[in-house]
Amino acid sequence: MANSRIYCLSFLAILAAIQGIHAVDYTITNTAANTPGGARFISDIGVQYTTETLYLSKRFIWRIFQQFSSPADRKNVQRVSLFIDDMDGVAYAINNEIHVSARYIQGYSGDVRKEITGVLYHEMTHIWQWDGNGQAPGGLVEGIADYVRLKACYAPSHWVKPGQGDRWDQGYDVTAFFLDYCNSLKTGYLATNLEVTVQELWRPRDEDDKHEIASFMATAGFPTPEEIFRYFTIFR
Residues 213 and 113 in one domain: no
| pLDDT of residue 133 exceeding 70 | yes
Last residue of a domain, one of 105, 128, 151: 128
Residues 100 and 139 in one domain: no
Per-residue pLDDT tens digits for 159-216: 999 999 988 889 999 999 998 988 887 777 666 556 655 665 555 444 444 445 556 5
How many domains does the chain fold into?
A: 2
Residues 121 and 148 in one domain: no
Average pLDDT over every residue of 53-63? 96
Q: What is the rounded distance in angstroms from the CA atom of residue 184 to the CA atom of residue 100?
A: 32
Residues 78 and 139 in one domain: no
Residues 149 and 225 in one domain: yes
- Name the average pLDDT for the chain: 83
Residues 141 and 123 in one domain: no
Residues 113 and 37 in one domain: yes
pLDDT reported for residue 11? 53
> Are the CB atoms for 193 and 156 separated by under 8 Å?
no
Residue-range definition of the domain harbouring residue 105: 17-128
Residues 145 and 219 in one domain: yes
64 sits in which H/E element? helix 47-64
Residue 141 located in a structural domain: yes
Q: What is the CATH number of the domain that holds 33?
A: 1.10.390.10
| pLDDT of residue 57 exceeding 50 | yes
pLDDT reported for residue 199? 60
Query: Residues with Cβ < 8 Å from 126, sequence gap 6 or more?
Result: 93, 141, 145
Q: What is the rounded distance in angstroms from the CA atom of residue 30 to the CA atom of residue 17?
A: 27
pLDDT reported for residue 209? 46
Last residue of a domain, one of 128, 162, 187: 128
pLDDT reported for residue 135? 75
Residues 73 and 92 in one domain: yes
Residue 8 located in a structural domain: no
Residues 149 and 204 in one domain: yes
- DSSP for residue 29: E
Q: What is the rounded distance in angstroms from the CA atom of residue 72 to the CA atom of residue 54?
A: 21
Nearest CA to 28 out of 116, 115, 107 is that of 116
Query: Residues with Cβ < 8 Å from 52, sequence gap 6 or more?
Result: 11
Residues 103 and 142 in one domain: no
Last residue of a domain, one of 109, 128, 147: 128
Q: What is the rounded distance in angstroms from the CA atom of residue 186 to the CA atom of residue 208?
A: 33
pLDDT reported for residue 14? 56
Residue 175 located in a structural domain: yes
Confidence of residue 13 (pLDDT cuts 50, 70, 90): low
Residue 3 located in a structural domain: no
pLDDT reported for residue 107? 98
Q: What is the rounded distance in angstroms from the CA atom of residue 156 to the CA atom of residue 125?
A: 17
Residues 67 and 98 in one domain: yes
Per-residue pLDDT tens digits for 76-126: 999 999 999 999 999 999 999 999 999 999 999 999 999 999 999 999 999
- Rounded to the nearest 5 percent, the helix, strand and coil shares of the chain are 55, 10, 35
pLDDT reported for residue 191? 60
